[in-house]
Structure 1
Amino acid sequence: MKWIFRTTITIAFSIIASSAAKAQEPSYIQYVNPYIGSADHGHVFVGANVPNGLVQLGPSQIAQTWDRFNGWDWCSGYNYISEEILGFTHTHLSGTGIGDLNDILILPANGSPHLHPAPFNQMDKGYGSKISKANEKVEAGYYKVLLEDYDILAELTASERVGYHKYTFNKKDNPHLLIDLGFRMNWDTPTDTYLKWVDDHTIIGYRFSKGWANDQKVYFAIKSNTKFDNIDFYNDSTAVKGYRVAQGKSIKAIVTLNPAKPVELKVGLSPVSTTNALQNIEAEIPDWDFAKATQKAQKKWNDVLKKIDFQADDNTKTIFYTALYHSYFAPTLFSDVNGDYMGTDKQVYNDKTHQQYTVFSLWDTYRALHPLMTILEEQKSKNFVKSMLNIYQQQGKLPVWHLWANETNTMVGLPAIPVVADAMLKGLIDKQDLELAYEAIKTTAMGYEHGLDFVTKLTYIPIENMSNESVAWALEYAIADFGAYQAAKFLNKQEDAAYFEKRYKLYKHYYDAEVGHFVGRHANGTFRRPFDPFYAEHRNNDYCEGNAWQYTWLVPQDVQGLIDLMGGDRKFVEKLDEFINLPEQLDNASPDISGMIGQYAQGNEPNHHVPYLYAYAGAPWKGAELVHKTMTKYFTNDPAGLCGNDDVGQMSAWYVFSAVGIYPANPMDGKYVFGSPLMQQATFNLPNGKTFSIKTKNNGPKNIYINKVKLNGKNYPYSYITHELIMQGGELEFEMSAKPNKKFAADKTFRP
C-alpha cells in the first residue's frame, strides 16, 4: 500500500515536473520580427504559415505601379510601405525577383459589395480596406489586422495545408465574404476557375492559372463555422445563372451570412483535388478552435528555431532568429496527407514513403540554405532530394527552378546537381536511390541547352552561340560539374570522374590574363573586346545579374586553381582587396546587384562565398573583416533589414551560417570555412540527438578576429571544420581578438 502511495506521488510529481518543464521551454519566436525584409527589395512573405508549409496565408496589397520597378517590390504580395489590403490569399512567394501565386483571395466586408479590387489611392472604387501599422500584428504563425474601412478584425493562422481565418465583424451593415478566384498579382493570370456551394458550411473549387508557373493548379475547400445564407456567383462582373455551381475564367462569389459570432473559415489546399483538400482540413485542423490552431503553429516554429540556441544581445538574436525563420519558408510541402501529389508531367502520383516538395529556388539555395538543412533537418533534406529525383523522372532532368509542378527554367546553370551531390556525400540519399541519383546528375549534366553541348565536348561556349550570359552559364556549369565529379568518385565510377574533373576545370578557358577576369570568347579564340569589368547592364553581357568583377570569384569548387590563375596567394589577396575597395557605383544595372562593399554585392548570390575566399590564400583575418562588415551593415532589425531579395531564404541562410562563424564556401566538399562569429555561444541541436556548440571567448563589437581555435578542448589549427566533425557533436571554441593573428591558418596545411 505504501509502495502504491509513493508511486502515485512519484507519478504525480513527474507529471507536474513535466508540465513545468514544458511551461518553461524557451520562447524563440519572441525574437522573430517578420517585418524584416518586407520593405524595399527584400520581398519577404508576411502572414501566417508553418515551417515549409504549402499554405502561406497572408495579405495581398496593391502593387503600386508608379514604382520604378512597376510593382516589383510587391512580388510577395506585400510591402511594408503599403497602407491597404485587398484581401487574404493562401499562397505566396518569399524573397523572389519574379511574382506569382497569391491564389484564392478571401475578403470579409460589409456595405455594398464590390467585385473588383480598388485602384491605388481610390479605396472607395473597389474592394479592399485601408490599414495602419498600429492595428497590424504579425508573429511566427499568426497575423492580425484591423480592416479599417469595414471595421473588421481579421486574424490568420495556418497548418501545413490549411489556412485558418477568424473575422470579428464590429460593423454589421450587409456583412459578407468575397471570394475572388480572378484576383491576380504580378505575372499571374487565371485560365479556369470553379466554385461549388456544397452545403450550408462548405464551398469547394479550383483555380488554374498561367504565369511564372505556366500551368498551375490549386484545388481548395472552404469550411465555415457560420452558415452561408446565400451565395451569388459572378464571372468577372457578369452574374452566373445556375444553381450552386459556377465555372469560368474569373469566378467570384459574394457570400452573405450572419456574423453573430466571429466568422471562422478553414481553407484546405491541394495540388490534386477538392476531395483531398477536404481531407487535409479534417486531418490537420479538425476542431473549431482558432487559439489552439495558433498555438500549434507557433509551437512548430519554436521547435525548428530551437534547433540553434543562439546567445547574443537581443538585437542580434532578433536578426538571427528572423533569418532562421525565413530559412524555413521553402521548399514548400506539395503532397497531401494521403500521399498524393501532382507531378511535373501533370500526372497524379501517390507516395506514402516520403513527402513531396516544390518551390526550389536552386540557383540561390544550393549555396547555403540546402547545406544548412543538411545540418538541421536530415529527414527534410532527404525528402527535398527525393522530390528532385521524382521531378527528374517526370521531366527528364533535375529541377532548375521548380514551382507548383512547373519547371520555370529560371536562372543559369544546373543548380540541383550541387544539392544532390552534397546529399549523396553526406549520406542523405537512401542506398536504393544512389544509382538513380547519379543517373539524374549525369543525364542532366549531359544536356544540350544553353551552350551545354559545348561543355559536354570539353570546350568553351562561344559568344556567337550565346551572346548573353555565356560566362555566367559556363561558371555555373563548372560548379555543377564538380558535383558530378564528386558523385562519380563517391560511387567509384572512375571514367566518369575523370571526365567531370576536366569539365569542372573548364572555367579556365574564360580567364583572360590580359585583363585578369573571366571574359566571353569568340569562336576563333579571341576574348570579347571592348571590355569593361564594371559593365552590368543585362543586354550583351557575359554575366547574369552582375559584372566581370563580381563573377571573377565564382569558382568555389577549385579555389586553388583560381589562385594559381591569378599568380599565387599574394596576388589573389591583393585582387580581393582591390575588389572590395573599388567604387560602389553601378550604372544601368539590375536592382538585384545590391548590398555593395566596393564591387562586392552581398545582395546577390554569386558573391556570397567571397569573404571566405581569403582563408584559401592564408589570410582568413581579411575575410573576417569583410563578413563582419557585411553582417552589421546590411542585416538590420527593421523592415529594410535585407540588402536584396531574400531569394526564398538563401540571403537569410547566409546570415545564419555567418553569424555563428562558419560558411560552406564550396557547398559540395563538406567543409565550413571560419569567418567572424557574432554570438557568445550557438548550440546546434542535431537530428541525431547530439549537440554541437560554438563558443566564443573575448567576443565583442571590436573583437572581430579569430585569434585561435579549440575543438573539444584541444588546439585546432585549421580555418574550417568538416560536416562529419559537426555531426559527431562536440564543442568548438573561438578565441576572439581586436587585432588579427596573421599566423592563424596561414600555412597551406590548415587551409580549406
Structure 2
Amino acid sequence: MQNTLKNLFLAACSAAVLASCGSQPQKESQEQISLTQYVDPYIGTGFHGHVFLGADVPFGAVQLGPSNITQGWDWCSGYHYSDSTLIGFAHTHLSGTGIGDLGDIVFMPVTGDYKMALGTPEKPEDGYLALYKHEDETVKPGYYAVDIDRYKVKAELTTTERVGYHRYAFQPNADAHIIVNLERGIGWDAPVEGHLEQINDTLVVGYRLSKGWAVDQRIYFAAVFSQPLKGLKLYSDYKEQAEGTAEKLTADLDFGTLTDGQILAKVAISPVSTDNAIENMKAEAQSWDFDQVVAEADTKWNNELAKVTAKSADPEVLTKFYTALYHTMIAPSVFQDVNGDYRGADGKTHNDKSFTNYTTFSLWDTYRANHPLSTIIHPDRVNDFVNTMLHIYEQQGELPVWHLMGNETYCMVGYPAIPVIVDAYRKGFTGFDANLAWEAVKNTAMGDGRGLDLLKKYGYMPANSDVETVAKGLEYAVADGSIALMAEDMGKSDDAEYFKKRGENYKNYFDTSVGHMRGRVSDTEWRTPFDPFRATHRADDFCEGNSWQYTWLVPQDVPGLVELMGGKEKFLEKLDEFFVAEGDMGEHASNDITGLIGQYAHGNEPSHHITYLYALEGQPEKTAKLVRKIMSEFYTTKPDGLIGNEDVGQMSAWYVLSAMGFYQVNPADGKYVFGSPDLDEAVINLPEGKTFTIKAENNSKDNIYIKSKTLNGQAYDKPYITYEDIMAGGELVLEMAAEN
C-alpha cells in the first residue's frame, strides 16, 4: 500500500507547484455583489437550533469546524453558542439534527504543557482542552478562525468539497504539535477502530470506524503538512503504544521548533480508502495558497446564494433570508470520491460516474419544504438526489428513510423518500430512470416492515401493535397519496385507484366524536384515555407531537379533511381553535415541540404546512397574519434565532419559501400556496437565463395582506402558483395592503 500512496502523493506534490491550477472564480462572480456578507453562521447555534458552525462549501463532503467537549442534545452538531470549550476541529458534522453523530478526525494544535487526555472545563490542564471567547472567533461561509489563548495559536479553516484546509499560526520558535484524535465523536458516535500511519515526513494516512446513529460508519483520510514531522507518538485510550491501530486511537504529531511558527495542513477524506483520499486531494487541493482557497469557497457560496436575488428595506430580513438559504445547502452532502467510488447501502464499494452520490437525507423533515425548494433553485442537483435514493433502493431493497454515511438509520416515521421522488417526476425531471423510480416507490410502499403489513390488512395500524401508530399511518397516507398521482400520470389506473384509497387511510384515525386523530385499537375501539394535548416522547400514538398537531397532517387531501370535519365552516372553526388552544402536553413531551401558537408548533415539521390551510379554504388573511408572525418572532438574527432544530435545512427552507411569498403544502402536487412575503422582491435565477420575479408592492410590517395579484401583467386569482409557471419565468406582482 505504501508504494501506491507514495506515488499518488508525489503526483499531488508535483502538481502543487502550479498554484494557478486551483479553479478561478468566474468573471461574473467577481462582478456580482457579495451575498455571503448577509450570512451569519451563528444564527441557530443557540437554543435548540443545532446548526453546524465552521467551514464548508455548498453540499460538500467536508464540514470542518470546532468541537466543544460538552455532549448533550443541544450539542448534536458538536458546537453550541453557550459553550467555550475546544477539543479541536472535526472534519464531519451534522447540521440541525436531533441526534448527534459524526465529528470525525479531530485536529488540535498545541504547544507547551499539555496532556494526552481531554481534560475538563474546570481543569483544562489535566488534558489538552482549551477555552475560547466568541470575540476571538471569525465566522463566515467557507471560513472559520479562532485564537486559542492557551497555546497562543491562531487556527484558521477552509475547505473544498472533499478536503479540509488548516492554517495554524504558532508563536515564532514555539514547539509546535498537532494532536489527531480518532477516538472522539459527537453524540451517539462511539469509536470502533482508529488507524494512523506515517508514510513520509509530511504525509500521514488513516481511518476511523465508528458506531452510532450510523451503525457502521467508515471514513478514510490523508493529511499532508507544509512542515516535516520530527516525531510521532501513538496512544490508545490516551496511553502511549507502538501500534498505529486501536479502538480509541490518538496521536501526537511533533513538528519541532518552527522559526515562523506556521503549519498548514490539507486533510482529504473518502468513504472508501486512503488511496482515494489522496486522489481526492490531488484533484481538489493542489495549491498551498490558503487565502485562495478561502476566496474560492466564498465564490462557491456566492454563486449558490445568487440563485435568488433578494431585496428588502430591512437589513435584518436579508440576513435572515440569506442565512436560511445558506443553511439549506449544508446537506445533503457529497458521499463519493472524484473517481466515482462510493460506499453503498449494502456496504460494498460501487463506482458510478454517471451521477453524484449524496448522503445525510433527513427526509421526514426535508420532503416538506427543502426538496420542493431544491426543484426551483437547484434543478441541477435534483436528478442526483433521486438517483442516490434509487441506488439505495437497489442496494437495500427499499427507499431510504433517514440515510447517513451509507447506513439506513430508520429514523422517524413513514417512507418520506417517496414524495420527493414523485415530486421530481411530476415536475418533469428526466435525469433518472422513471420505470425504476416507479418500481422503487411501489415496492417500498408494498413492503411488510414497519407496520405496513397491518396497514394493508386493516387500513390502519392498531394502536396496541406499536408506538407512534397514528403518526406512522398519517405519514404513510401522505406518501401513498403522492404515489397515486404518479400512477395516474403514468397511465397506471389500477395502481392510481389503489393508492388513492390508501392515501385516504387518514380517515381511519379520525374520531368524529372528539374531532381529532387518535389511536385506533380496532374497527370498534379507540385507545383510551384520550387527551389531544398529550405528547409523551416516543411512547404514545404520535411522533414528536400530539393529536392537535397531527390532526392536520393531511396535505395530500385537504378537501377530504375539510369534508371529514363536517365542511368548510367547521374546518375553519377547528383551525381557529387550534391556534389558540392551550393545554398540558405532559412532563415527558418532546423537546422538539417549540415555537407554539396555541397548539401550532413551528419548532417541529408536522406543523409546517398548517398556516397555509387557511389560504386554501378562502381565508388568506389568516395565513398572512400567522406567517408574518412566525417569520418575525421565530426567525431572528440572534444565535437563538431558530425556534427549533434546523433539521438539515427544513426549518430554513420554510423561511426561504415563505419569505418569497408561498409554500408547497402538498409535497407532490407542485402548487405553491400564497402567504405573505417577508421580502420586497425576490428574483429567482433559473436555468437557460430565465428569471422569475416576485414583487411585493408597498410591502411593510403593516402591509401584510395580498390585496391583488398579477402574473405577467394579467390578473391572477388562484390561491397558489404552479411550479410550471415559476420555471417558465416571468413576473408575479403582489399588491400589499394593511387590510385584507
Equivalent position amino acid for 2:359 in 1 = T
Q: 2:214 is matched with which residue?
A: 213
Q: 2:281 is matched with which residue?
A: 281
- With over 3 angstroms needed to count, the CA separation of the structure-2 counterparts of 1:572 and 1:259, relative to structure 1, is farther
- With over 3 angstroms needed to count, the CA separation of the structure-2 counterparts of 1:681 and 1:584, relative to structure 1, is farther
Task: State the Cα distance separating 1:540 from its structure 2 match.
Answer: 4.2
Equivalent position amino acid for 1:280 in 2 = N
Q: 1:119 is matched with which residue?
A: 120
Task: State the Cα distance separating 1:688 from its structure 2 match.
Answer: 3.5
Aligned pair count reads 712
TM (normalized to structure 1)? Answer: 0.93
Q: 1:130 is matched with which residue?
A: 131
Aligned CA RMSD, in angstroms, stands at 1.4
1:365-514 correspondence to structure 2 within 5 Å: 365-430=366-431, 433-457=433-457, 459-466=459-466, 468-514=467-513
Q: 2:204 is matched with which residue?
A: 203
Equivalent position amino acid for 1:142 in 2 = Y
Equivalent position amino acid for 1:565 in 2 = L
- d(CA) in 2 for partners of 1:725, 1:369: 19
Task: State the Cα distance separating 1:122 from its structure 2 match.
Answer: 2.0
Contact 1:113 1:254 in 2 (8 A): no
Contact 2:538 2:544 in 1 (8 A): no
Contact 2:616 2:673 in 1 (8 A): no
Q: 1:8 is matched with which residue?
A: none
Equivalent position amino acid for 1:547 in 2 = N
Residue among 27, 32, 39 paired with 1:25: 32
Contact 2:203 2:224 in 1 (8 A): yes
Task: State the Cα distance separating 1:23 from its structure 2 match.
Answer: 4.3
- d(CA) in 1 for partners of 2:91, 2:541: 39
- With over 3 angstroms needed to count, the CA separation of the structure-2 counterparts of 1:169 and 1:473, relative to structure 1, is same
Q: 1:10 is matched with which residue?
A: none
1:139-154 correspondence to structure 2 within 5 Å: 139-154=140-155
Question: Percent identity, aligned pairs only?
Answer: 51
Gaps of 5+ in 2: 1-24
Q: Deviations for 1:345-375, whole angstroms, at most 9, x for unmatched residues? A: 1110011111000000000000000010011
Gaps of 5+ in 1: 1-17, 65-70, 741-752
Equivalent position amino acid for 2:483 in 1 = A
Residue range with higher mean Cα deviation, 669-678 or 530-539: 530-539
Q: 1:248 is matched with which residue?
A: 246
Task: State the Cα distance separating 1:20 from its structure 2 match.
Answer: 8.5
- With over 3 angstroms needed to count, the CA separation of the structure-2 counterparts of 1:688 and 1:666, relative to structure 1, is farther
- d(CA) in 2 for partners of 1:279, 1:19: 25
Equivalent position amino acid for 1:402 in 2 = H
Residue range with higher mean Cα deviation, 577-586 or 406-415: 577-586
- d(CA) in 2 for partners of 1:290, 1:75: 29
Task: State the Cα distance separating 1:693 from its structure 2 match.
Answer: 0.3
- d(CA) in 1 for partners of 2:120, 2:144: 24
Q: Deviations for 1:575-616, whole angstroms, at most 9, x for unmatched residues? A: 111111122754321110001111100000000000100122
Task: State the Cα distance separating 1:458 from its structure 2 match.
Answer: 5.5
Contact 2:121 2:129 in 1 (8 A): no
- With over 3 angstroms needed to count, the CA separation of the structure-2 counterparts of 1:143 and 1:490, relative to structure 1, is same
Equivalent position amino acid for 2:95 in 1 = S
Contact 1:584 1:597 in 2 (8 A): no
Contact 2:401 2:417 in 1 (8 A): yes
Contact 2:235 2:250 in 1 (8 A): yes
Task: State the Cα distance separating 1:341 from its structure 2 match.
Answer: 0.3
1:666-677 correspondence to structure 2 within 5 Å: 666-677=666-677
Q: Deviations for 1:678-730, whole angstroms, at most 9, x for unmatched residues? A: 11100000133210000011111011111110000111011100000000000
- d(CA) in 1 for partners of 2:483, 2:444: 10
Contact 1:560 1:616 in 2 (8 A): no
- d(CA) in 1 for partners of 2:353, 2:213: 29
Q: 1:525 is matched with which residue?
A: 524
- d(CA) in 2 for partners of 1:540, 1:38: 29
Q: Deviations for 1:174-224, whole angstroms, at most 9, x for unmatched residues? A: 321101111132111111111010011100000000000000000000011
- With over 3 angstroms needed to count, the CA separation of the structure-2 counterparts of 1:283 and 1:547, relative to structure 1, is same
What is the DSSP-based 3-state SS (H/G/I as helix, E as strand, rest coil) of the residue aligned with 2:603?
A: coil
Residue among 43, 47, 51 paired with 1:44: 51
- d(CA) in 2 for partners of 1:21, 1:725: 27
Q: Deviations for 1:604-656, whole angstroms, at most 9, x for unmatched residues? A: 00000001001221111111111111110100000000000000110000000
Q: 2:579 is matched with which residue?
A: 580
- d(CA) in 2 for partners of 1:81, 1:469: 33
- d(CA) in 1 for partners of 2:493, 2:431: 22
- With over 3 angstroms needed to count, the CA separation of the structure-2 counterparts of 1:574 and 1:678, relative to structure 1, is same
Equivalent position amino acid for 1:553 in 2 = W
Equivalent position amino acid for 2:376 in 1 = I
Contact 1:150 1:171 in 2 (8 A): no
Contact 2:194 2:209 in 1 (8 A): yes
Q: Deviations for 1:541-572, whole angstroms, at most 9, x for unmatched residues? A: 21100011010100000000000011111111
What is the DSSP-based 3-state SS (H/G/I as helix, E as strand, rest coil) of the residue aligned with 2:648?
A: helix
Contact 1:464 1:523 in 2 (8 A): no
1:533-552 correspondence to structure 2 within 5 Å: 533-538=532-537, 540-552=539-551
What is the DSSP-based 3-state SS (H/G/I as helix, E as strand, rest coil) of the residue aligned with 2:482?
A: helix
Q: Deviations for 1:511-534, whole angstroms, at most 9, x for unmatched residues? A: 100100011111252112221110
What is the DSSP-based 3-state SS (H/G/I as helix, E as strand, rest coil) of the residue aligned with 1:560?
A: helix
- With over 3 angstroms needed to count, the CA separation of the structure-2 counterparts of 1:152 and 1:417, relative to structure 1, is same
What is the DSSP-based 3-state SS (H/G/I as helix, E as strand, rest coil) of the residue aligned with 1:645?
A: coil
What is the DSSP-based 3-state SS (H/G/I as helix, E as strand, rest coil) of the residue aligned with 1:59?
A: strand
Task: State the Cα distance separating 1:19 from its structure 2 match.
Answer: 9.6
Q: 1:562 is matched with which residue?
A: 561
- d(CA) in 1 for partners of 2:525, 2:140: 56
- d(CA) in 2 for partners of 1:723, 1:534: 37
Task: State the Cα distance separating 1:454 from its structure 2 match.
Answer: 2.2
What is the DSSP-based 3-state SS (H/G/I as helix, E as strand, rest coil) of the residue aligned with 2:703?
A: coil
TM (normalized to structure 2)? Answer: 0.95
What is the DSSP-based 3-state SS (H/G/I as helix, E as strand, rest coil) of the residue aligned with 1:647?
A: coil
- d(CA) in 2 for partners of 1:172, 1:735: 66
What is the DSSP-based 3-state SS (H/G/I as helix, E as strand, rest coil) of the residue aligned with 2:266?
A: strand
- With over 3 angstroms needed to count, the CA separation of the structure-2 counterparts of 1:568 and 1:524, relative to structure 1, is closer
Q: 2:294 is matched with which residue?
A: 294
- d(CA) in 1 for partners of 2:279, 2:174: 35
Equivalent position amino acid for 2:247 in 1 = K
Q: 1:264 is matched with which residue?
A: 264
Q: Deviations for 1:43-85, whole angstroms, at most 9, x for unmatched residues? A: 0000000000000000000216xxxxxx110000000011121
1:691-730 correspondence to structure 2 within 5 Å: 691-730=691-730
Q: 2:70 is matched with which residue?
A: 63
Contact 2:115 2:125 in 1 (8 A): no
Contact 2:175 2:258 in 1 (8 A): no
Equivalent position amino acid for 2:568 in 1 = D
- d(CA) in 1 for partners of 2:625, 2:80: 32
Contact 1:110 1:171 in 2 (8 A): no
Task: State the Cα distance separating 1:120 from its structure 2 match.
Answer: 3.0
Contact 1:115 1:236 in 2 (8 A): no
Residue range with higher mean Cα deviation, 20-29 or 152-161: 20-29
- d(CA) in 1 for partners of 2:103, 2:574: 45
- With over 3 angstroms needed to count, the CA separation of the structure-2 counterparts of 1:359 and 1:22, relative to structure 1, is closer
Q: 2:15 is matched with which residue?
A: none
1:295-374 correspondence to structure 2 within 5 Å: 295-312=295-312, 313-374=314-375
Equivalent position amino acid for 2:115 in 1 = H
